Chain A
């Protein structure tokens, strides 16, 4: 039996600020992980990543990150992705400062 596909979100960094962004279902780059499109199909994920890669005047380094459904939207699985949703732990900078967490 094929292994179940771990759902993904498309994530990247914004071109100007470098802030972490997520691709939503309606093709907007959101700064909030919970607003990301949770992609449960591998072929669809590749298409969405291609779409992200073409937006080189807006984002940098798009990739697919593992995620899971949560009560308020997709949640990160790996701790690295969890840190990316928040910002650093030594100061309330980044998304903590901007009110995106």
Chain B
């Protein structure tokens, strides 16, 4: 894994020292809130509904065990004993005191972490496939690229005041688990005709109030051209992007309003200029970074007892059926540890859970952890002979829920329980859906399903690309929930279609039940998932289930 250089360490320390002084001046009254706000946002500190919130970057979702332990320590010492993992592979602390934040940032610096550029109109935390370096379908580990982009974008002098925030996601596998098509720039590592790897570059994706699927701006970019090309895109956006209207300021609008052809021409022209003068050390630096992401020393050992344990213990078997993903290395598995125990807050982990995960990563997983955009924790490299012991340990902290990819594995933003921008709550809706379907005993029968919930139009909960999306709104002073159907977050990204009028807070869970019972009725057999049935039949039978009164009227 990547280790900070002396340069990185000194940079983070100097930023923390600056911010400490800024906080002191704010508390003394020397700085007004208007003056302080952009400074705190540059360091990931928000003021939310009930308290400050500190958003800490987990670059490309990769954590070492010592970093996870430090996150637990921070939760205990300066927060309320837990942290919230987000859809952008960050961790958020919901209750820090302003006066404690400089100490928290120093504690993060001790383990090579920071909160820089987790807010503001800059290039944000670079995200990547959470199965990077482990997935069987991987062409190449996307993390060296993501780390290169992180280094290039951090404190980039030209890109600190972009028209709006800017998100870059990287995938290195055939199946896109990094939602690259919803990013301002998506990078997909692909193999060219001559066998050499390069990037398919997507631009203009985004969710929010105007959801758009990213489009290919360059089908194959040579690796050595990555930074000058990224610089050309962001530079073009920086000049062409709108600053008159916050809601039209993202690059997706720039591309849409100008058209891809015009935008691409402008990028190409800028690229030629930049490339001519480029002195960056792109290729050598990338090669150097790649050395930090070499695979661990995998064991060549028999899968002792794994199948025997599966046969003997149905709980273990159910967990292995849902929570494991195929690893590239024979004998190994990728373990998704669910942070979605039924009734729990999606993405929340207590300090005890974080410490256990760190210990288990050391014991069984080469010290590595990942945070997924689906708000779960991943142990990317576990030998199958260790799974039984791992599962037993996970149970001790409520981390052995066998629901990865099922109805209760819900993405939910913090919503109006925490977020100052939210228009309705998300967390209690997620909690109730999870406990409700557990009570009904239908979770296993329903099978693979992505429910994604956002508490406002900004779509942090990715509702547009959920098989079932739920969007919480404020309708005349009352919480109201709109359902979208048929969304897809993968390489075949589809923005879901709004089903119809919204539902009141106490109507939304019954509506989801009607929807899923309709699916069970219409599916061809158990192998046909909800999304497959929706694609085959279209929205009609599902809308009829959601709005039975209307359906009855139409039939009459």
Chain A partners chain B: yes
How far is A79 from B94 in the complex, measured between Cα atoms in Å?
Answer: 20
Q: CB distance B97 to A56 under 8 Å?
A: no
Judge if B418 is at the interface, Cβ distance under 8 Å: yes
Shortest Cβ distance from residue A57 to the other chain B in the assembled complex, whole angstroms? 4
Expressed in whole angstroms, the minimum distance between the Cβ of B92 and any Cβ of chain A is 13
Question: Do A18 and B48 touch (CB < 8 A)?
Answer: yes
Q: How large is the interface on A (under 10, 10 to 19, 20 to 34, 35 or more residues)?
A: 20 to 34
Encode B471-486 as 1/0 by CB contact (under 8 A) with A. 0001001110000000
A63 to B47, CA, bound (A): 14
Interface size class of B (residues with CB under 8 A): 20 to 34
Cα(A20)–Cα(B479), bound, Å: 21
Task: Label chain A's interface by main secondary structure.
Answer: loop
Residues on B with C-beta less than 8 A from A19 are 50-51
* Distance, CA A56 to CA B31, complexed state (A): 9
Q: Is A89 an interface residue (CB 8 A)?
A: yes
Shortest Cβ distance from B376 into chain A, in angstroms? 18
- The answer to whether B51 and A17 have CB atoms under 8 Å apart is yes
Q: State the CA gap A90–B32 with chains docked (Å).
A: 33
Give chain A residues whose Cβ lies under 8 Å from the Cβ of B28.
Answer: 57
Query: B417 touching A16 by the CB < 8 A rule?
Result: no
Q: What B residues does A83 contact at CB under 8 A? A: 49, 416-417, 425
Q: Which of A1-50 contact B (CB under 8 A)?
A: 13, 15-20
| A80 with B427: CB separation less than 8 A | no
Shortest Cβ distance from residue B481 to the other chain A in the assembled complex, whole angstroms: 13
User: If the complex has contacts A83-B416, A93-B95, are A57 and B50 also in contact, measured as CB distance less than 8 A?
Assistant: no
Please give the residue numbers on chain B whose beta carbons come within 8 Å of chain A beta carbons, in ascending order: 26-29, 32-33, 47-52, 80, 94-95, 97-99, 345, 416-418, 425, 427-428, 431, 474, 477-479
Return B94 CB to nearest CB of chain A, in Å.
8
Q: Which residues of A contact B33 (CB under 8 A)?
A: 56, 60-61
Cα separation A79 to B99 with both chains bound (whole Å)? 30
Shortest C-beta distance, A7 to chain B (Å), equals: 16
Q: B50 contacts which of A16, A87, A90 (Cβ < 8 Å)? A: A87
Determine whether the beta carbon of B29 is less than 8 Å from that of A79. no
A12, B80: Cα distance in complex, Å: 22
Give A57 to B97 CA distance when docked, in angstroms: 15
Instruction: Check A88 against B417 for contact (C-beta < 8 Å).
Output: yes
Contacts of A87 in B (CB 8 A): 50
Which residues of A come within 8 Å of B, CB atoms? 13, 15-20, 56-57, 60-61, 77-80, 83-84, 87-91, 93-95
CB distance from B455 to the nearest CB of A (A): 11
What 8 A-B pairs have minimum CB-CB distances, sorted nearest first?
A57-B29, A88-B417, A18-B51, A18-B52, A94-B50, A90-B345, A90-B427, A60-B33
Bound form: Cα–Cα A91–B94 in Å? 12
Candidates A17, A78, A93; contact of B477 at CB < 8 Å: A78
How many angstroms from the CA of A18 to the CA of B425 in the assembled complex?
Answer: 20
Asked whether, in the complex, the Cβ of A20 is within 8 Å of the Cβ of B99, the reply is no
Across-interface contacts of B431 in A (CB, < 8 A): 90
Measured in the bound complex, the distance between the Cα atoms of B98 and A61 in whole Å is 15
Q: Report the minimal beta-carbon distance from A44 to chain B, rounded to whole angstroms.
A: 24
Whether B478 pairs with A79 at a CB distance below 8 angstroms is: yes
A16 and B99 contact, CB distance less than 8 A: yes
**B-side contacts of A16, CB under 8 Å:** 27, 97-99
A-B contact pairs, 14 of them (CB 8 A): A16-B27, A16-B97, A16-B99, A17-B98, A18-B47, A56-B33, A60-B33, A61-B47, A83-B49, A83-B425, A88-B418, A89-B427, A90-B428, A90-B431
A94–B80 Cα distance when bound, in Å, is 10
Q: Which residues of A contact B418 (CB under 8 A)?
A: 88
Known A16-B97, A57-B29, A90-B428: A79·B51 in contact at CB below 8 Å: no
Closest chain-B Cβ to A101's Cβ sits at a distance in Å of 12
| B477 pairs with A79, CB closer than 8 A | yes
Chain A residues whose C-beta falls within 8 Å of the C-beta of B477 in the assembled complex: 77-79
Known: A15-B27, A79-B477. A90 touches B417 (CB 8 A): yes
By a CB distance below 8 angstroms, the chain A residues around B474 are 79-80
Q: Are B417 and A89 in contact (CB under 8 A)?
A: yes
Output the least CB separation between B42 and chain A (Å).
17
Q: How far is the CB of B171 from chain A (nearest CB, A)?
A: 32
A18: chain B residues at CB < 8 Å are 47-48, 50-52, 97-98
Kindly state the separation between the CA atoms of A60 and B105 in the bound complex, as whole angstroms: 22
* Nearest residue, chain A, Cβ from B422: A80
The answer for the CA separation of A89 and B343 in the assembled complex, in Å, is: 12
Q: Are B428 and A94 in contact (CB under 8 A)?
A: no
CB distance from A83 to the nearest CB of B (A): 6
Find the B residue at minimum CB distance from A20.
Answer: B50
Bound CA–CA A16/B102 (angstroms): 13
Residues of A within 8 A of B345 (CB): 90-91
What separation, in Å, do the CA atoms of A80 and B472 have in the docked complex?
13
**CB nearest neighbor in B for A59:** B33
For B95, the chain A residues whose CB sits under 8 A away are 93-94
- Whether the pair A15, B50 counts as a contact (CB closer than 8 A) is no
Q: A16-B99, A88-B418, A89-B427 are in contact. Are A94 and B29 (CB under 8 A)?
A: no
Given contacts A56-B33, A78-B477, A79-B477, is CB(A84)–CB(B49) below 8 Å?
Answer: yes
